[in-house]
Amino acid sequence: MIDKAFIGRELAPSTLTLERGRLRFFAQAIGETDPVYTDLDAARAAGYADLPAPPTFLFAAELESGQSMALLELLQIPLSKLLHGEQGFTYHRAACAGDTITVRPRITDIYDKKAGALEFVVKTAEARNQRDELVAELRTVIVCRH
């Protein structure tokens, strides 16, 4: 069983500087066709300072930093038992190429279902830019099968 004492624990922050090339590549990889994500002139015409980060891109900061794996190690969840339960984003402002985004996660809930056969870990995080402005709130639910 995952120790519920971890509820409320803040995890190490992750920082990622957004680069145009990565934003374009990600947009193409997810099949995004809106030119604001790949064409600087289109992005600026739409009111962005630079290419905006496509939807779900901010999750990359934690993946790249290794913090997602560190969470599994902390909670002693083997990869063979891991399921992706849910992921959500609430956006407050655009994150654009040139911005440096810091994601600060926290474990907000741990609960089980099916008499403990499934355990759920809820992690929420704030993503802030280099001006400490709230860019987005992220929510992830991971599931451990027993």
Place of tokens 């990600």: 26
Domain assignment of residue 112, yes or no: yes
Tell me the per-residue pLDDT of 28-78, one tens digit each, with 9 for 90 and over.
999 999 999 999 999 999 999 999 999 889 987 777 777 888 899 999 999
Residue 112's domain spans which residues?
Answer: 4-18+58-145
Indicate which CATH number applies to the domain containing 109.
3.10.129.10
Domain assignment of residue 25, yes or no: no
Domain assignment of residue 28, yes or no: no
Beta pairing, strands 118-128 & 100-113: antiparallel
Domain assignment of residue 71, yes or no: yes
Q: How many domains does the chain divide into?
A: 1
Tell me the per-residue pLDDT of 3-20, one tens digit each, with 9 for 90 and over.
999 999 999 999 999 999
In the chain, count H helices and then E strands: 4, 5
Domain assignment of residue 121, yes or no: yes
The Cα–Cα gap between 15 and 146 comes to 33
23 neighbors 98 (Cβ within 8 angstroms): no
Beta pairing, strands 14-17 & 82-91: unpaired
